[in-house]
Structure 1
């Protein structure tokens, strides 16, 4: 389960050369080429929406608006990069995680902020160090309904524990905030085990995250930026479900 992590950590000097090498930034730029038309369309559409959000909220919360604008754009670039098996996902994910975590702390969504910190240390940094992190991925279906029960129990325990922890803070939206973190942890575990069913979790998670940031905005602690970006995530999840090149078409039976 943790072989890829062990490999990178035990050979860290070798993997660091993947970053500190001649022509690295040219290679990184080329990772944005050759994507499908829908990927570029989603990027452009999200950018327009982020501009609207920035203009709408800048006068009231300029610093938070700028940070959310950067995070909203790069988070979409990261997710679309993942869909296209692109090495850009590491840097886009790392910078967006920092921005979204900062926005989360500023808005009081502490569980979401720590969720992003988890992505940064346990996913984004490893994707940066190992450009082939997503190569040759073969998704596997659950072997039986028992696996649904196991992961469901894991999610339930995670949510109870996370809710209790963050109820001790000043988090004003602890129900949705803790729910999103529990779903993110469950989805990450499914992703780590390369289970096809992770996409159900990520899709549902996108819906609840949209609800969280909508509530945040209505209570005066946020803006449209992350609502827009997670809506794009949802569209990308739908593409993963139904595309001929999507995750469900690359599954080991």
Structure 2
């Protein structure tokens, strides 16, 4: 919890920001609490699925079922990424989170940040703050502004695609507009980096990756989720 003796005037602000960031992280990473979302978990599973398919020379890669999986994966990722740049006041989104921090940058001070470190010492914590959030006595709003700019830039084409192809049918059917995995994955990587960066600011903790390395659960009988690919899905005797 926030120490009332430090120079954070409104400890409820920090507490609220921590909760919002946790909600954003859970939504983006993947959680049973959320019916939609889980960008990182979905990305992991899809990439693993593609590897399994590509490694099997017996599978026809030009297949409507495989294309169906790809289209639905891309659609779900686009929707989830766009949720993070939703400026609706009711939305718990990364863009709203960053703008709230930007508006309150002077309340998140280096002194408070250093006071929250429990093990690494004052010099290390000061260095950590200055490398990530500037050399002012509080968070440099210019750094937050730059993060907002990068987030909007890397999601611009994704949002445009969502508006033209996913959420709406554009009346100008001659418009040729498509999106590729490079654009999607650059946005995903950036969002993950921003979440980790502000985790450091608010909780003084950092992780190399938000998603655990092993998310495919093992069962009591020793099997795991990928075993489904080892079992034929259809009785093909009559083919």
Q: Does the pair score TM above 0.5?
A: no
* Rg comparison, structure with higher value: 2
TM-score (norm 1): 0.31
The structure where helix makes up a greater share of residues is 1
